[in-house]
Amino acid sequence: MRVSMPHMGNLYIPFKALFQRLDIDFVIPPISNQRTLSLGTKYSPEGLCIPFKLALGNLIEAAEMGADALIMPVGNGICRLGYYAQTQEQILHEIGYANVRVVRIGISEHKLLGLLKTIKYLANNASWPRIISTFRFGLTKLNALDRIERIVQKVRAVELVKGTANQLFAQAVDAIDKADDYNTLKKAQADYLDRLDRIPKDPQAQPLLVGIIGEFYVLLEPFSNLDVESELGKLGVEVRRTTFTSSWTKFSLFLNSLGINEKDRIHRAALPYLKRDIGGEGWESVGEKVLHAKEYDGIIHLAPFTCMPEVVAQNIMPSTRESIPILTLICDEQTTKTGMLTRLEAFVDLLQRKRRAGTNKQPRVTVRGGYT
Amino acid sequence: MKAYLGIDVGSVTTKLAVLDENNKLIAHTYLLTSGKPTAMVQQGLVQIKEHLPPDAEISGVATTGSARYLAGVVVGADLVKNEITSHATAALFYFPQVQTIIEIGGQDSKIIIIRDEIVTDFGMNTVCAAGTGSFLDHQALRLNMSIEEFSRRAMNHQTPVRIAGRCTVFAESDMIHKQQMGHRIEDIIYGLCQALVRNYLNNVGLGKEIKPPIVFQGGVAFNQAIVRAFQEELATEVIVPPHHEIMGAIGAALLAHEEMTGYNNRRSQFKGLDVSQIKYNTSSFECKACPNLCEIAQLQTDSQVLARWGGRCDLWERAPSEEAK
Residues 6+ positions from A260 with CB-CB distance below 8 Å: A251
CB within 8 Å: A357 and B116: yes
The domains of chain B, with CATH numbers, are 2-88+247-277 (3.30.420.40), 97-240 (3.30.420.40), 279-325 (no CATH)
Each residue's pLDDT tens digit, A304-341: 998 999 999 998 998 888 889 999 999 988 777 888 88
Which whole number is the average pLDDT over A63-74?
A: 92
pTM of the model: 0.88
Neighbours of A5 (CB within 10 A): 26
Confidence band (pLDDT; 50, 70, 90) for B225?
A: very high
Give the integer Cα–Cα distance in Å for A148 and A190.
9
Residues 6+ positions from B152 with CB-CB distance below 8 Å: B224
Q: Which residues of B touch A35 (CB under 8 A)?
A: 291, 293
Give the integer Cα–Cα distance in Å for A332 and A51.
9
Give the integer Cα–Cα distance in Å for B292 and B126.
24
Confidence band (pLDDT; 50, 70, 90) for A364?
A: very low
Do A247 and A254 form a contact (C-beta atoms < 8 A)? no
Nearest to A371 among B22, B241, B293 (CB): B241
Each residue's pLDDT tens digit, A229-258: 999 999 999 999 988 877 777 776 666 666
Do A211 and A292 form a contact (C-beta atoms < 8 A)? yes
Partner A contacted by B119 (CB < 8 A): yes
> Which amino acid, B258?
E
Q: What is the pLDDT of residue B248?
A: 95
User: What is the value of ipTM here, to two decimals?
Assistant: 0.84
Instruction: Report the chain A residue with the minimal C-alpha distance to residue B90.
Output: A369
CB within 8 Å: A366 and B93: yes
3-state secondary structure of A234: helix
Tell me which residues of chain B, numbers 156 to 195, contact chain A at a CB-CB cutoff of 8 Å.
none
Each residue's pLDDT tens digit, B152-179: 999 999 998 998 867 777 788 888 888 8
Q: Where are the domains of chain A?
A: 3-126, 136-359
Partner B contacted by A311 (CB < 8 A): no
Mean pLDDT of chain A: 88
Give the integer Cα–Cα distance in Å for A240 and A231.
14
Q: What is the pLDDT of residue A368?
A: 43
Q: Does domain A3-126 have CATH number 3.40.50?
A: yes
Which whole number is the average pLDDT over A57-83?
A: 88
Give the integer Cα–Cα distance in Å for B23 and A243.
47
